[in-house]
Chain A
Amino acid sequence: DGGITQSPKYLFRKEGQNVTLSCEQNLNHDAMYWYRQDPGQGLRLIYYSQIVNDFQKGDIAEGYSVSREKKESFPLTVTSAQKNPTAFYLCASSGQGRYYEQYFGPGTRLTVT
């Protein structure tokens, strides 16, 4: 079955630690995205990538970093510089030219204390 996987589903970290969230897709999609969702809020774009070895900042990139070394993988690192990292993180992908139709992974709920 094709789809997007994110791991882990729940993640707990202490303040001051960097943490990397995994995102893998086997849909052969070129574009991948990372969003952050806070309670009662919409999805805010952190970073996105249209091709391997290239990515662009979204609206709230500060305190986050990404890499795109393989088409299938787009890991997100939440650094200690991110002021309020506790949130629900969603990874998505889309086919070429179909940026409006995004497929989402199940999400990772990160709690930093």
Chain B
Amino acid sequence: GQSLEQPSEVTAVEGAIVQINCTYQTSGFYGLSWYQQHDGGAPTFLSYNALDGLEETGRFSSFLSRSDSYGYLLLQELQMKDSASYFCAVNERDDKIIFGKGTRLHILP
């Protein structure tokens, strides 16, 4: 079967750094994506890793280790607007992705 595991909630302080982990078990693997969703809104694409290593996009970075079936999203210099749910998603085949249940990020002032 397929499964993606990520923490249900994470809390961090404004200005700090937070890491959201994702482990996966799927029959196929092309890459790992990350999406952000604010309450009541639509998910928006953040990043994609097909190869091992770190991808940086501004304050957000995403990491993948294919051998460990593990990835994480790193958010730096946290801002209150970063309060949202973050989903990892596995590109199991070359035509669709499977989403995890999401991690709700709470940011304290």
Contacts and interface: CB of A to CB of B under 8 A. Distances in A.
A and B part of one assembly = yes
Interface of A: 31, 33, 35, 40-45, 48, 50, 56, 58, 90, 97, 99-107
Interface string B38-60: 00011111001000000000000
B97 A100 contact: yes
B20 to A, nearest CB: 14
B45 A102 contact: yes
Interface of B: 4, 8, 30-31, 33, 41-45, 48, 87, 89, 91, 94-102
Given A41-B101, A42-B101, A101-B48, A48 B42 contact: no
A104 B87 CA distance: 14
B43 A100 contact: no
B96 A33 contact: yes
Contacts of B43: 43, 90, 102, 104
A74 to B, nearest CB: 14
A58 B96 contact: yes
Closest 9 CB pairs of A and B: A104-B42, A42-B101, A42-B99, A43-B99, A100-B91, A100-B33, A100-B48, A101-B45, A104-B43
Given A41-B101, A90-B42, 17 more contacts: A35-B99, A40-B8, A41-B102, A42-B87, A42-B100, A42-B102, A43-B43, A44-B99, A45-B98, A48-B96, A56-B95, A58-B96, A99-B94, A100-B48, A102-B97, A105-B42, A106-B41
A68 B96 CA distance: 17
A67 to B, nearest CB: 19
Contacts of A97: 94
